[in-house]
Structure formats: C-alpha cells, structure tokens
Amino acid sequence: MIIGLTGENCAGKSTVAEYLMKKSFYYYSLSDVIREELKAGGKPITRENLIEKGNALRERHGPGVLGRKVSEKMHEDKNYVVDSIRNPAEVEELRKSGRFFLFYVTAPPDIRFERIKKRHREEDPQTYEAFLEIEKLEMENQDRTKQNLSETFKAADKKVTNDSGFRELYDRVNAALAEVSDEFKLERPSWDEYFMRIAKVVASRSNCIKRKVAAIIVRDKRIVSTGYNGTPRGTRNCNEGGCPRCNNFSDSGQGLEDCFCSHGEENAIVQAAYHGISIKGGTVYTTFSPCLICTKMIINAGIREVVYNVDYPIKDAPLKLLKEAGVKVRQHKVE
C-alpha cells in the first residue's frame, strides 16, 4: 500500500510520515527528487528554489514527473508513504500502482502560523498577514506544470485534521488507515469511545431519580477523577427522598436552584480538589453537555476540552461560554 501525503505548510505532514514509518512504511518525498536536482546544479535548497525547480521539472518532463520518478523506485512487497505531493498529475501517476491512497493533512491557519514561528527559520514569513498572502499565491495555478495545492487537496481519499496533540493525530491516522485497508482495521476502541463508555459506567452509580449523569476527567490519557450526580456527601441519597426537587419531578431545566443534587462534572472537579489532584489542562468526558454552573467550574478549573455524549436540555449558553473561554467542545455519541 502507498499512502500519499499532501497539505498546507506546517499542517503536520512530516509528523504523519514519521508515524507511518514506525509502522514499517518506507519513506519517499517528491521534494527529494527536486533536492537532488538542486544539489547537482549547485543551488541552495530554499523553499523558493524548491518551488522553482519543481515547476521547471514538470514543464520539461510533464506535470506528473515527480510521482513517476518515485513510483519507479517502489516494490510491490512493501508499504510506502510519499510526502510533498503538490500537483494532481503526481497523484495520477502514483494511482497507477492500484494501491495508492492520498491523505490530506490539514490544520487551521492560525495554528500552522504558530508552528512556523516556533521553528525560527529566516525565510519564513514574520507576520500572519504575510503568511496568508504567500499561502494564497502557492495554492492555485492555472498552469498544469506548476504546483496546484487546492486541486491536489480535492483529490484526497481521506482528510486528517491535525489541530490537537500527537495522540489525537495518531488516532485519526489510524482511523484513516483502517478505512482504506483491512490490514489496519482497528480492533480497539478510540480514546473517545473508551473514555465515554467508562463515563457511562460511572453514571450507573448515580443516586438521582431523574437522570443518571457522570463525568470523568482525563490527563495524558489517564483518568484522574470521576463524578456522578447525586446529593452531597453524608446526606440522604436522592432516591431515598434526599432531593425535594427531583422527588417532586419538576420540569426539566426548571427549579434548579432548589435541587440538592450535585452534577457529575461538579463532583468530578470537587473530588479532584478534595484529593489534591491537578486537573489543569485536562479533558472532561461527560454523558451530558454541561449546565451553566458546571461550565463556569470547568473554565475556572483550567480544563482545556469538553467531550460530551448527548445534549443537556439547557445547552446553548453553556456551550457559547465554553467557546468564548477558549475551551474546546466536541460531541462524541455512544449508545
């Protein structure tokens, strides 16, 4: 199998290539063909020279020349990852093998610009506006012999978004591989599936008679705190008559100020504080999207991401507040 990689500058193509190499994929880069040409001509290897030489090679030998040259080096008994694909004709050449899949690796431009600043290269744009302008110029070209990233992206079989950490990126690569080849079918649940199902098990401990809700807080893929909804420690359980609101079966979302039950997210945060465990930078998996009170606790506790299973009846204001505070919010449904 051959996995081709295309994407914007600093989207994470090299990171994906390195990950696939750990899975015994042999590596080729179309840019290496251009680098060899530049070295032979005694020219320095810069981004501008690579683009110029690549365009010249395509003009002289056809738009798919780089893909053709790399394809000639491959053997049918190995898996390969091919980086730096920038022209649709290169995709066409690589597809002739009959076992080629193109992955479009992408990330929001603001995230990619931050990555560019961290690598400290003199030739890189120094402002966000300059970065966007250069990218716009490189994205499309009517000349078939020049790079055309936008059309190349459209040819992709799978899109892999790289806007979180390495673990999330690797999970998404694994999922994409599983979708294009039985050889890489995932036998284990994803991290989202794993943690959300655990949260649902935690919810079974709830003593609330109206709704069983739970949350777990995760750091570095480890559960550091759990909580389910119910009356406070040392008081009568809700199912024993401990909460007047719940036992009067009030309408959903009404009379919350009279409810004695603490919510799952609230208890998970409080339990972490009770045991002196830091949850800053963690992720909370909750079986329902958080209410407004829990939302404020999540923000002030420094939790960076909320993953919820189903919508809470009053969800709009809490979700809006989380996004305003810079907390990532995702829905991941499990039955």
Q: Where in the sequence numbering do the catalytic residues fall?
A: 265
Please tell me the least confidently modeled range out of 91-95, 188-192, 198-202, 266-270.
188-192
Residue 51 has pLDDT above 90, yes or no: no
Range among 186-195, 257-266, 280-289 with highest mean pLDDT value: 280-289
What pLDDT band is residue 255 in, cutting at 50, 70 and 90? low
Closest CA to 327 of 310, 307, 309, 313: 307
Residue 245 reports pLDDT greater than 80: no
pLDDT band, residue 208 (cuts 50/70/90): confident
pLDDT in the model for residue 256: 62
For range 242-257, the mean pLDDT: 66
C-alpha dihedral, 313 to 326 to 264 to 277, nearest 10°: 180
For position 113, what pLDDT does the model report?
Answer: 94
Q: Residue 267 contacts by C-beta under 8 Å, 6 or more apart in sequence?
A: 215, 227, 228, 229, 230
**Which stretches of the chain are DSSP H helices?**
13-22, 30-40, 47-61, 65-71, 88-95, 109-119, 128-139, 149-154, 166-180, 191-203, 244-247, 264-274, 292-300, 316-324
Residue 85 has pLDDT above 60, yes or no: yes
**DSSP codes, 282-331:** -EEEEEE---HHHHHHHHHTT--EEEEEE--SS-HHHHHHHHHTT-EEEE
Q: Could you give phi then psi for residue 279, rounded to 5 degrees?
A: -120, 10
Q: Which residues pair with 27 in a beta bridge?
A: 81
> Considering only CA atoms, which of 24, 19, 156 is closest in space to residue 77?
24
> pTM (2 decimals)?
0.57
Which residue is it, tokens 């290269």? 121
CA distance 213 to 218: 17
Q: Is the predicted pLDDT of residue 134 greater than 80, yes or no?
A: yes
Going by DSSP bridges, is the β-strand pair 305-310/283-288 parallel, antiparallel, or unpaired? parallel
- Residue in this structure with the two tokens 């978004």, named with its chain if needed: 161
Determine the pLDDT at residue 330.
93
The pLDDT value recorded for residue 31 is: 85
User: Which band of pLDDT confidence, cut at 50, 70 and 90, is reported for residue 250?
Assistant: low
| 297-315 residue pLDDT tens | 999 999 999 999 999 877 7
Residue showing tokens 């998404």: 172
Which tokens in the block code for residue 78? 């190995």
**pLDDT of the residue at 224:** 97
* Separation between Cα atoms, residue 282 and residue 304, nearest integer Å: 6
Neighbours of 255 (CB within 10 A): 13
Residue 239 — pLDDT band, cuts 50, 70, 90? confident
Closest to 7 measured CA to CA, from 142, 202, 155: 155
Contacts of 42 (CB under 8 A, 6+ apart): none
Inform me whether the pLDDT recorded for 183 exceeds 70.
yes
pLDDT of residue 261: 78
Q: Give residue 313's pLDDT.
A: 73
Closest CA to 250 of 240, 260, 237, 263: 260
Burial of 324 (0-12, 13-18, 19+ CB in 10 A): exposed
Which of residues 210 and 228 earns the better pLDDT score? Answer: 228
Report d(CA 105, CA 38) in Å as an integer.
27
Q: Which amino acid is at 32?
A: D
Name the average pLDDT for the chain.
89
